[in-house]
Amino acid sequence: MQFYKLISYVFHPLLFSSIGSFIYLLLTPKNILKRQEYIILAIIFMSTYILPIFLLVLLKKLNLIETYLLKTIEERKFPILFFIILSFMVGNLLLNIKVVNLLAYSFFGIALALAITYILFNTKIKTSLHTLGIGGVLGFVIIMSYEYQLNFNLIIALLFILSGLISVARLKLNAHQPKEVYIGFLLGMITQFISYQFYHNM
């Protein structure tokens, strides 16, 4: 059981935006300086990891959440809304940089996935944010491979394996029902493809 807890902590949902961005900046062709890449990555990490952690700490101090695990749908509602807005703002910021538009649209995909997650709260479905995150990264890497005609087969295979491991961990910890794990993974991946279609139509 400790192993599954470790998997859940190491691959926390808040980290997936930074992981996907790091893979993009590391492996795809771009016309920007290394220093600019570091700045972009730092902005993304601060915005999508450090800032949300501060929010969770504040919510805990105000007794608006019982634990940082956000076990109930009610506890998840405000953080999800916050991250929807945050993802959209990061996407717009990256669009203004002009040279990382594909990465910008990946954040719009995240915002869409989380918006659907919020809507599903009305049906009492507590979508797995862990599998949503890894599904989003996997979908984005597939898009990068297609867009730049690069062979990312090994990375894609490893991400599929990691997706399975994370899914098993969430189920073994009784954090979610199977359908919530599957919905999260499919939402994360499919919304990346939807966002990519908008990217090509703009």
pLDDT at residue 202 greater than cutoff 80: no
Q: What is the pLDDT of residues 177-190, one digit of tens each?
A: 999 999 999 999 99
Give the pLDDT confidence of 96-137 residue by residue, as tens digits. 988 899 999 999 999 999 999 999 999 999 999 999 999 999
Tell me, what's the pLDDT at 29?
Answer: 87
Placement of tokens 């949902």 in the chain: 13
The token duo for 31 is 């016309």
Note the pLDDT of residue 31: 78
3-state secondary structure the chain: CHHHHHHHHHCCHHHHHHHHHHHHHHHCCCCCCHHHHHHHHHHHHHHHHHHHHHHHHHHHHCCCCCCCCCCCHHHHHHHHHHHHHHHHHHHHHHHHHCCCHHHHHHHHHHHHHHHHHHHHHHHCCCCCHHHHHHHHHHHHHHHHHHHHCCCCHHHHHHHHHHHHHHHHHHHHCCCCCHHHHHHHHHHHHHHHHHHHHHHHHC
Cα–Cα distance measured from residue 104 to residue 95, given in angstroms and rounded to the nearest whole number = 6
Residue 201 pLDDT > 90: no
Report CA torsion sign: 95, 23, 14, 46. Answer: negative
pTM of the model: 0.94
pLDDT in tens, 128-180: 999 999 999 999 999 999 999 999 999 999 999 999 999 999 999 999 999 99
Q: Give pLDDT tens digits for 16-52.
A: 999 999 999 999 987 788 899 999 999 999 999 999 9
Whether residue 95 is predicted with pLDDT greater than 90 in this model: the reply is yes
